Structure 1
Amino acid sequence: MIDQKHVEAFKQIVGDDFVTTSRPIRVSYVAKSIMDLDSEIADVVIRPKSVEEVQKILIYANNQRIPVTPQSKGLSGGTATPAVPGGILLDLSRMDHILEVDTDSRYMIVEPGVTNGKIWGYFREHYPDWIPPIPDGAPSQGSVMGNTLDRGFSVVTSKYGPQADLVLGLEVVLPSGEIIRTGSWALPGAKPFYRWGIGPDMTGLFLGAQGTMGVVTKLATQIVPHMPYTDIVLLGFGTPEELQDVSLDVLKQEIGVMVQGGPWWLVPGVRQKEELKEQGLLDIDVWREKKYYVPDYMMNFEIWAKTEAELVEQQETIKEVVEEWKKKGAKTEILPIHPKAKATRLKKPNKIAIPYASYERTTEHGGGFLFITWYLPWKDTAEFCHLCEKYMPDYGFDPIYWVASIKNGRDCIGMPIVCYNAQDPESVKAVNEFDKVTSQVFLDHGWLNYRPRKFIHAPMMYERAPEYYTMLLKFKQLLDPNGIMHPGSLNMNTLEG
């Protein structure tokens, strides 16, 4: 446990009310993960309000060799929890200012604690013609910065790419207390309008770093136009190959801001399995007979347009692509979508990902789910589907998984949604075994995990890329020579040498 003298020193920096060693509070920070299962409990939680307070905390922690795990809200990826026992959980949620919006250069500057709900509401009130790139399906209390630093996806990822592609600059406090800005922001007096800055790009060192290089205190990222005409076009397919190839032909026309879907299992996956089993609704044919028609595979194309005519043109283009594939014998169709389902998808922020937590919940125990996120070429999407359907049942999981387009089908986000019993050690063990086995298979295909779990994906990836890992450690030792920043994450624990 951390020495009381350190606790008192931190109270002098941020105030008594914003430092706690209460075990229930410390444990509560571990319970938020949806991207990892392995977390340790910090010795102390500190909640700074300013960059200056962050700076003082890091200088003190660095001098005393106290580990620091920074967290914005803890709801974006779940990787912002300690990988080694003890140390500081640096909760940045009080730093919640929207600092600037520039609709000419089209960027915004926010602090770590700015939530998806707060920024979306702010734009609807003050800048209704623009949108911030909030994540799709994430809770409104998740942070914009957390998802961005994890290189996650947004409501416009199919058109503009993942969150990291939109970053223009960062303000970072290093363990030494030094403060740097990246991009054009590095030049005193300059606006954060240009990512590549005044020399080699430093921004990338902090994207996907999981807090191992420093504490990001400001984010400058792009904003995009909010179109007045919107629709959801639902496509059904008979095979993963049709999902992949028909969707790609539409995506090559640069149609869709968010394009996502997967197998029919996504439909029952948002309900409780126990109740579905009683009703016999875990069989697609029975589901179609008792409920409504669902295709074997599906993709939602969320389309935006400046005018009604432009919207109709996109709808017609999708129809033309579908008709061409039908002539080739594909079981592809445009399906009706219930108005409530359409409204749910178009609503931002939405919570479409949250119900999967209830799938394995019963009257006897709670549920749980783990998102295991991979980036792969779009032309590998069908293979990803087949592998999920092969391996998930082998470990006792229904084949609930999700795929989405990045940059008009240039890449794919593939994500097994592993629904399990979080209170059953055997169920947790099965999750880890599934993840280990499929990670080997996915890495063999050349696919990348973009939110690597500390003790599974990171070691596996870096074992295959020793030169890259060696260079990464050199950067780590340069920026954090005492190894205090999130030790253990990304398979880096230089705190222990």
Structure 2
Amino acid sequence: MLYNKIEEKDVEFFESVVGKRFVSANPAICASYSSKSIMGLESQIAEAVVRPRYTNEVRNILIWCSDRRIPVTPVSAGLSGGFACPVFKPAGVHLDMSRMDRIIEIDEDNRYVVIEPGVTNGELWAYMKKYHPDYIPPIADGAPPAATVLGDGIDRGFSLVTSSMGPQGEIFMGAEVVMPTGDILNYGSMALNGTKPFYRWGLGPELFSTLMGSQGTMGIVTKGVVKIFPHPHFKTVKAWAMGNPQDMQDLTLQIGKLEFGIAHNTVMVQGGNWPLVMTRWPKDKVPNDYSFYEKIGIPKWWMNWEIWANTQEELDFVCKTIDEYAINFKNSDKCREPDAIREWKLHPKQIESRMKKPNKIAVPYSWWEAGFLFITWYTPWNECAEFAEYYNSILKKYGFAEVMWIASIERCRQAICMPIVCFDSSKPDDFIRVQDMNRETTEYCLKKGWINYRPDPNIHAPSTYSMAGTYLKYLRKVKEMFDPNYIMHPGRLMLP
């Protein structure tokens, strides 16, 4: 696909749309938007940054860029790094959506919030705490306060209630989207003009799924609707230790199947292995062997259940049930290492820190060396232990710390498995080592039927779509319907 580079007349047009103050073609400013971190290693420096404020401004920019065949990459906060930025040259327009930051409507009865793409986790959490304290928004757990709510929602990400309610894609109710052709499309029940966004599936056949996980390839979301949830006052975190990932998987699955009265109360269920602790500190400050962590009570593997309840009695019942199931599992013939199964008594400050929202639990991994990369896969829950054992063996093979984080999606129907690759981002050889490992693991994981989340456009996407058959053919037809000149950031979908 051939694209045009940005010329002076393009910059002048953008300035006429959003104002000179909100356009920059300064190479230093453009470079400041580029990043190589967290979710991907490839990115390009855009030729211009444009910061719209209103839907009509976005529309005018897209029509111009489509006519001129100038690529456009929409970014709300860009905190996922890497592929949140342009991937291919010429990088074209970096459309910074952060000025579109209005909280438009909060409906407590129908339990949704309508927001613009620049609204951050911290802003929405603080606003609702002040004006709607009985409800919480589905902010991304682990992401910093500056990350955006809609960015995570469109990516079908992981929120603070994902184990109970499902991934962010399940709680995204509707959207206003500007297409590269200039059309404005409303998804969900909002497709019927004037209708509240109370029903995700709208006027079926529903086009909603063409937006979810699209990585900015189909159009630009200018308004989004996500569910909000009751915010009960009775909370705690239970943690149990295990000696291996298989026991962690099997015990957690038993509890996840208790879907009424127990598992729905466990809003966040997540765990991992002891290097998760080690790699949250500078490499030269802590020991690298397990014996040190064993002495201070860190188990080899563990699982946390964050529990919300409406009454103390309800909270006590859920905690008691988890404990009973853990003890019964320890004494069963399904348990591989009974001696390792024990309750991990958390300090009140640990519990308080775990439940603090928004949090920054993802940030400290960069302290270990100089950078880190999340390579995330979805598996059936009952295959997450196999994933962990395999991937840790490959991390070890390539000389990386064996860091594994695993969390439940929708009461252990799926697992989100995230090896955290800690490497020195100042060393070019380390980038090569990461990508070589990524290629090897991708080939294996796809053969197992595991699905990558936020795929690398140079590694995951080509391998994935080579196995997708007719699906890719029709995905491209959808792309061409919405974006006939292919100007929207092709990102992780390998389009074109």
Q: TM-score range by the shorter chain?
A: over 0.9
- The TM-score, its normalising length taken from structure 2, stands at 0.95
> Which of residues 119, 134, 139 in structure 2 aligns to 1:114?
119
1-structure distance, mates of 2:19, 2:188: 34
- Is 1:310 the counterpart of 2:310? The answer is no
Instruction: Tell me which amino acid in the other structure corresponds to 1:338.
Output: H
In structure 2, the partner of 1:137 is 142
Moved over 3 A (4+): none
In structure 1, the partner of 2:279 is 269
Q: Which whole-Å deviations, capped at 9, do the CAs of 1:307-361 have from their partners, x for residues lacking one? A: 000000001001110110121253311111122221111000000111001111x
**After the TM superposition, which residues 179-258 of structure 1 pair with which residues of structure 2 at under 5 Å, given as runs?**
179-253=184-258, 254=263, 255-258=265-268
1-structure distance, mates of 2:70, 2:344: 57
In structure 2, the partner of 1:152 is 157
> Which of residues 281, 287, 291 in structure 1 aligns to 2:293?
287
In structure 1, the partner of 2:442 is 439
- Is 1:355 the counterpart of 2:382? The answer is no
Matched residues, number: 481
1-structure distance, mates of 2:32, 2:387: 35
In the alignment, is the contact (CA less than 8 A) between 2:74 and 2:96 conserved in 1?
yes
> Which of residues 60, 75, 81 in structure 1 aligns to 2:79?
75
Instruction: Tell me which amino acid in the other structure corresponds to 2:120.
Output: T
1-structure distance, mates of 2:126, 2:430: 39
TM superposition shift of 1:488: 5.3
> Which of residues 346, 349, 355 in structure 2 aligns to 1:340?
349
1-structure distance, mates of 2:109, 2:249: 37
Where 1:267 maps in the other structure, the secondary structure is helix
1-structure distance, mates of 2:402, 2:148: 29
In structure 1, the partner of 2:374 is 371
Q: Which whole-Å deviations, capped at 9, do the CAs of 1:118-142 have from their partners, x for residues lacking one? A: 0000111111111100000101000
2-structure distance, mates of 1:106, 1:357: 37
> Which of residues 81, 84, 88 in structure 2 aligns to 1:84?
88
Q: Could you tell me which runs of 5 or more consecutive residues in structure 1 were left unpaired when the two chains were aligned.
A: 361-366
Instruction: Tell me which amino acid in the other structure corresponds to 2:436.
Output: E
Name the Cα RMSD after superposition.
Answer: 1.1
In the alignment, is the contact (CA less than 8 A) between 2:215 and 2:491 conserved in 1?
no
> Which of residues 29, 32, 50 in structure 2 aligns to 1:28?
32
Instruction: Tell me which amino acid in the other structure corresponds to 1:42.
Output: A
In structure 2, the partner of 1:363 is none
TM superposition shift of 1:381: 1.1
Change (3 A) 1:77 1:333: farther
2-structure distance, mates of 1:326, 1:374: 29
1-structure distance, mates of 2:306, 2:198: 28
2-structure distance, mates of 1:297, 1:28: 39
| Stretch deviating more after TM superposition (481-490 or 394-403) | 481-490
1-structure distance, mates of 2:149, 2:204: 27
Q: Which whole-Å deviations, capped at 9, do the CAs of 1:415-435 have from their partners, x for residues lacking one? A: 110011111011111111111
In structure 2, the partner of 1:385 is 388
Where 1:449 maps in the other structure, the secondary structure is strand
Instruction: Tell me which amino acid in the other structure corresponds to 1:304.
Output: W
1-structure distance, mates of 2:472, 2:161: 32
Instruction: Tell me which amino acid in the other structure corresponds to 1:302.
Output: E
In structure 2, the partner of 1:260 is 270
Where 1:379 maps in the other structure, the secondary structure is helix
TM superposition shift of 1:401: 1.5
Where 2:455 maps in the other structure, the secondary structure is coil
Q: Could you tell me which runs of 5 or more consecutive residues in structure 2 were left unpaired when the two chains were aligned.
A: none
2-structure distance, mates of 1:107, 1:207: 18
In structure 2, the partner of 1:124 is 129
In structure 1, the partner of 2:167 is 162
> Which of residues 43, 48, 51 in structure 2 aligns to 1:47?
51
Where 1:387 maps in the other structure, the secondary structure is helix
In structure 2, the partner of 1:326 is 330
In the alignment, is the contact (CA less than 8 A) between 1:261 and 1:402 conserved in 2?
yes
TM superposition shift of 1:76: 4.1
1-structure distance, mates of 2:133, 2:141: 18
TM superposition shift of 1:200: 1.0
- Is 1:3 the counterpart of 2:16? The answer is no
2-structure distance, mates of 1:92, 1:33: 20
Instruction: Tell me which amino acid in the other structure corresponds to 1:173.
Output: V
TM superposition shift of 1:33: 3.6
In structure 1, the partner of 2:427 is 424
1-structure distance, mates of 2:399, 2:25: 39
In structure 2, the partner of 1:299 is 303
TM superposition shift of 1:77: 6.1
